[in-house]
Chain A
Amino acid sequence: MMAVLELKNLEKSFGKLEVIKDLSFAVEEHSVFGFIGKNGAGKTTTMKMILGFLQPDAGEIYVNGERVAYGNSKTNRYIGYLPDVPEFYGYMSPKEYLRLCGEITGLPKEVTQARSKELLSMVGLENTNRRIRGFSRGMKQRLGIAQALLNEPRLLICDEPTSALDPIGRKEILDILSIARERTTIVFSTHILSDVERIADNIGVINDGKLVLEGPVQNIKNMKRKDTIQIVLSNQEMNTELMSRINELPFVLEGALEKDGILIKLTNAEKFGKEIMSLLVREDIPVLRYEILEPSLENVFLEVVG
């Protein structure tokens, strides 16, 4: 598989502030890459360097095998970009704006027309003929996706596409991106982990200017996982006694008494869970609920970024 996007040992500082220190990763064709990090971790900076809007202090970026040059990047013809807050010419209608985009990229008129129609109906703006100046945030975001996909880019880069939107707007954007993944490779940044879980194949977690975690979403959830078992007793008075017993077990990493029961962190819930169960039976402790909690990306994220 070919890498559509490749970053090699990227570095960038603003004055004394080192935002990106030695960042490397690659994104393969026809995948969805979730670029995760806290606010201010350097996600937007990285994206602007990919587009040639900012100059890296060191390192190289390749799009579709071609090196990105700062200032006048030819490689942008492979890219569709959705800025975090896309801005348009307010005096144009969506159709007129897409026509301008088509002319700039050199698409034939008929192609622009056909694709505009298709894309506008995909993002739900096909019947919106008024000028962009009155558009809501969500509408601008949707038009932003349409303009980014107009030239059928090999790579669609979205900077925090959902973070400024209300829950309905977020769902709409995620649905549209799920359709778009059929046609192109998507890189999107976010700090909302449930969005990543919904549509990403691979993730990269950036922290402190470096990629601290990278790989397929499923593997990461499993690999780093600390399982959690939740036990709720019918007799709350026995909580403390059970706690001390559990903490004596060698495979238990941490046992804690929380308001929703006893939470036990351990490395492998399926294997060692039996021992916990036999302990409960042996001691004749009545159990209301016994549950192995699903590992979530959020736990993993908090663990590596922490």
Chain B
Amino acid sequence: MNEIMEYLPFIIPIIIVELVLMVAALVHLLKYKKFRFGNQILWIVIVVFLQIIGPILYFTIGRGDE
């Protein structure tokens, strides 16, 4: 238990950032539904299961043009 307490200052921010990125990407991809490649289901899987890297990939190369 003490161990976990010691690492809380690390774990909480990491979880917050992960969630922020995931939610931002999910909201965006559910709203616009346009992709340079792949489809919506594929990107939902990537964004939800590939922590941090998934949303980054979505925003940088997966997202369709405006």
Contacts and interface: CB of A to CB of B under 8 A. Distances in A.
A contacts B directly in the complex (CB < 8 Å)? yes
B6 interface: no
A91 B65 CA distance: 10
B66 interface: yes
A91 B66 CA distance: 7
Nearest to B32: A133
A242 to B, nearest CB: 64
Nearest to A131: B66
Nearest to B34: A133
Interface string B8-48: 00000000000000000000000010000000000000000
A133 B65 CA distance: 9
Contacts of B65: 90
Task: State the main secondary structure of chain A at its contact with B.
Answer: loop
A89 B66 CA distance: 8
Nearest to A132: B66
Interface residues of A, number: 6
Contacts of A89: 66
A131 B28 CA distance: 14
Interface in B50-66: 65-66
A121 B65 CA distance: 28
Contacts of B66: 89-91, 131-133
Interface in A105-145: 131-133
Nearest to A89: B66
Contacts of A91: 66
Contacts of B32: 133
A241 B21 CA distance: 86
A132 B65 CA distance: 12
B29 to A, nearest CB: 14
A250 B23 CA distance: 84
Contacts of A90: 65-66
A288 to B, nearest CB: 60
A196 B17 CA distance: 58
B60 to A, nearest CB: 15
Nearest to A134: B66
B30 to A, nearest CB: 15
Nearest to A92: B66
A132 B66 CA distance: 8
Interface of B: 32, 65-66
Interface of A: 89-91, 131-133
8 smallest beta-carbon distances between A and B, as pairs: A90-B66, A133-B66, A91-B66, A90-B65, A132-B66, A89-B66, A131-B66, A133-B32
6 contacts: A89-B66, A90-B65, A91-B66, A132-B66, A133-B32, A133-B66
Given A91-B66, A131-B66, A133-B66, 5 more contacts: A89-B66, A90-B65, A90-B66, A132-B66, A133-B32
